[in-house]
């Protein structure tokens, strides 16, 4: 419970930090699925791929390794940046990774190992982690 609450608070602070960006930057960064199509996930290499609009509205094909964005913190998948960790690599300790995309929704679920040797199924909304920066998929 404590890990989940801490993770939620830290993730919320990171997202609120991104909301402080100028409006012209936010429109292409937050909720990447609103400005990207053909969103797919390759579970063999943990790469997210999409065709995203750049600032001019032109389509750009882009890929992003989610191992650079998500880490496993005691069974909970978390955003990786200066708020939590600098390593990522959730796939080293998570299995059964599944991806679901519908409309402007994009979620990743996985069973992730805990410190005590168990596992927890964790789901993360990729719109809170992945951004479209001028047509390129990135994570903060």
Domains and CATH numbers, the chain: 2-138 (2.30.60.10)
**Would you say the pTM of this structure is higher than 0.75?**
no
In whole angstroms, how far apart are CA 1 and each of 5, 6, 8, 74, 75? 6, 9, 11, 11, 12
Of residues 96 and 28, which shows the higher confidence score? Answer: 96
Q: What is the pLDDT of residue 119?
A: 84
Per-residue confidence (pLDDT) for residue 115, from 0 to 100: 82
- Nearest by Cα to 22 from 51, 63, 55, 67: 55
| Cα distance between residue 47 and residue 117, in whole Å | 27
More confident residue, 39 or 116: 39
Question: What pLDDT is attached to residue 67?
Answer: 86
Our measurement of the distance from residue 80's CA atom to the centroid of its chain's CA atoms, rounded to an integer in Å, reads 9
How far is Cα 78 from Cα 70, in angstroms, rounded to an integer?
5
Range with the largest mean pLDDT of 58-62, 71-75, 113-117: 58-62
């Amino acid at each position: 419970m404590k890990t989940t609450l801490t993770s939620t608070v830290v993730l919320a602070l990171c997202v609120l930090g991104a909301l402080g960006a100028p409006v012209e930057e936010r429109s292409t960064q937050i909720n990447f699925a609103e400005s990207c199509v053909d969103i797919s996930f390759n579970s063999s290499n943990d790469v997210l791929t999409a065709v995203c609009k750049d600032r001019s509205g032109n389509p750009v094909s882009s890929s992003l390794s989610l191992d650079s964005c998500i880490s496993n913190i005691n069974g909970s998948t978390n955003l990786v940046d200066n708020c939590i960790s600098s390593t990522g690599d959730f796939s080293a300790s998570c299995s059964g990774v599944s991806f679901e995309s519908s409309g402007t929704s994009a979620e990743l679920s996985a069973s992730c190992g805990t410190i005590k040797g168990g596992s927890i199924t964790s789901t993360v909304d990729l719109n809170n982690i992945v951004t479209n920066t001028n047509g390129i998929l990135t994570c903060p």
